[in-house]
Amino acid sequence: MKKFGPSLLISLVLHAALVLLAFITWTHTPKPLVVNSVPVQVISDMPSRQMAEAPVDELAVKTPAPVPQPEPVPPKPTPAPPQPVPEPIKPAAKPTPTPPKPTPTPPKPTPQPPKPTPAPPDKNGLKKVEPAPAKTPPQKQPAKPAPKKAPEDDLLGRLAATPSQAPTKRQAQASTQKTTGQSAQGSGPADAGLKAEVSALTSRLNKLWLLNCDVPGSDEVSPEIRFTLSPNGRVTDGPTWVNKRNDPVWQAGANLAMAAVNKGQPNAFLGLPEGLYNRPIKITFNAQAACRGR
């Protein structure tokens, strides 16, 4: 009988080891993954009083270009509201060949300029940067068709994509959008002539109003927003949500509607028909109509 040589023995051992290894295998057993809940805490709203004073909103605090005063009046040290002196002219008023003479009593009630009192801190304690006061300083020269635009205004005007920035008084035009039958209505018989004028405003707001009809329920909201415009395109009162509801979708919709109003100032609201200025306006932002057909 032939004896096994050492090489054969070694070969056998190695093969046996290989077979054993094949059985053992390197089974990969991943470590159990423990997915713990993560304590992410919403602590609170940050106390806003810790906030520093806001940077100056140059646009908002920008004062109108200085114009010669009709009479030298000693400057008042306090920012008290201006006396209700009659304005010799109104912006965007009908141009007249000669400047109107200031008279002690105005021939008709003139729009009351807003009080340039500093805005009170908001509920967060932040200094609120208000839009520029809708102040129309007395002017000596004849009325200009429209106030001269500042460069910032031009920029904002482009952003707001207002339909018209023409310096001349804009003719009222009807909206080409579908309406719900209550569009652009005056509040009474005396306002029947203002229907088209309100349309001039709503057609501009159409372009400023962003909304997302896909958010469920957002196509059913119709927030009513009240505001007052000054002839220089500023929102002097509001915008305020009138038909408030305790519904987050309505609240979000109302925020978008108020954003449209805020976004429009000043340029989108310049050159509107006179009757729209300095009186309360209530606009319904009808998402149902806007989202129709989606």
Partner 1 sequence: MKTTTVISRMFAAMAGAILLLCVPAMANAQSELTGTVDSGNIQPLPIAISIGGTDAAGGDMGAKISKVVMNDLEGSGYFAPINPAAFIQTNLDVAVQPDFNSWKTINAQYLSNGRAFVDADGRLQVDFRLWDIFSQKQLLGQSLTATPENWRRIAHKIADAIYEKLTGQEGYFDTRIVFVAESGYRTARVKHLAIMDQDGANPSYLPVAGNNTKVMTPRFSADSQEVAYMALTADSARIYIYNLETGRQEAVGQIQGMAFAPRFSPDGSKLAFSVSQGGATNIYVMDLRTRAMTKLTSGSAINTSPSFSADGSTIAFTSDRGGSPQIYLMNASGGNVRRITFGGGSYSTPVFSPKGDMIAFTKQSGGRFSIGVMDPSGGNAKLLTSSYLEEGPTWAPNGRYIMFFRESPAGVPSLWQVEVTGRVERAVPYAGGASDPAWSPRLK
Give residues 97-116 in contact with partner 1 (rule: CB under 8 A): 109
- Give the span between the Cα atoms of 173 and 200, in whole angstroms: 5
Q: Is 43 in the site for partner 1 (CB under 8 A)?
A: yes
In angstroms, the Cα distances linking 164 to 155, 183, 233 are 14, 21, 13
Q: Is 45 in the site for partner 1 (CB under 8 A)?
A: yes
Shortest CB 115 distance to partner 1, Å: 18
From residue 249 to residue 268, the character string flagging contacts with partner 1 as x (rule: CB under 8 A) and all else as - is xxxxx-xxxxxx-xx-----
Pick the closer one to partner 1 by CB: 138 or 179: 179
Pick the closer one to partner 1 by CB: 85 or 289: 289
Q: Is 86 in the site for partner 1 (CB under 8 A)?
A: no
Residue of 124, 12, 91 lying closest to 270 (CA atoms): 91
In sequence order, what are the residues at sequence separation of 6 or more whose Cβ sits closer than 8 angstroms to the Cβ of residue 227?
235, 237, 238, 239, 240, 261, 280, 281, 283
Cα atoms in the Cβ-side hemisphere of radius 13 Å centred on 108: 3
Pick the closer one to partner 1 by CB: 62 or 144: 62
Size of the site for partner 1 (CB under 8 A): 104
Amino acid at 125: G
- Give the span between the Cα atoms of 236 and 115, in whole angstroms: 9
Rounding to the nearest 10 degrees, give the CA dihedral for residues 89, 90, 94, 96: 10
Shortest CB 83 distance to partner 1, Å: 20
Give me the phi and psi of 104, to 5 degrees please.
-60, -35
From residue 199 to residue 218, the character string flagging contacts with partner 1 as x (rule: CB under 8 A) and all else as - is x-xx--xxxxxxxxxxxxxx
Residue ranges in 113-152 that form contacts with partner 1 under rule CB under 8 A: 122, 124, 126-129, 152
Per CB under 8 A, which region of 74-82, 83-91, 165-173, 272-280 contacts partner 1? 272-280
Residue pair 230/236 in contact (Cβ under 8 Å)? The answer is yes
Residue 129, Cβ neighbours under 10 Å: how many?
15
Shortest CB 28 distance to partner 1, Å: 10
Q: Is 274 in the site for partner 1 (CB under 8 A)?
A: no
Q: Is 51 in the site for partner 1 (CB under 8 A)?
A: yes
Question: Strand, helix or coil at 241?
Answer: strand
Residue 276, Cβ neighbours under 10 Å: how many?
18
Per CB under 8 A, which region of 1-9, 11-19, 86-94, 172-180 contacts partner 1? 172-180
Q: Is 165 in the site for partner 1 (CB under 8 A)?
A: no
Per CB under 8 A, which region of 4-12, 35-43, 73-81, 133-141 contacts partner 1? 35-43
Selected from 146, 172, 184, 272, the binder of partner 1 by CB under 8 A is 184
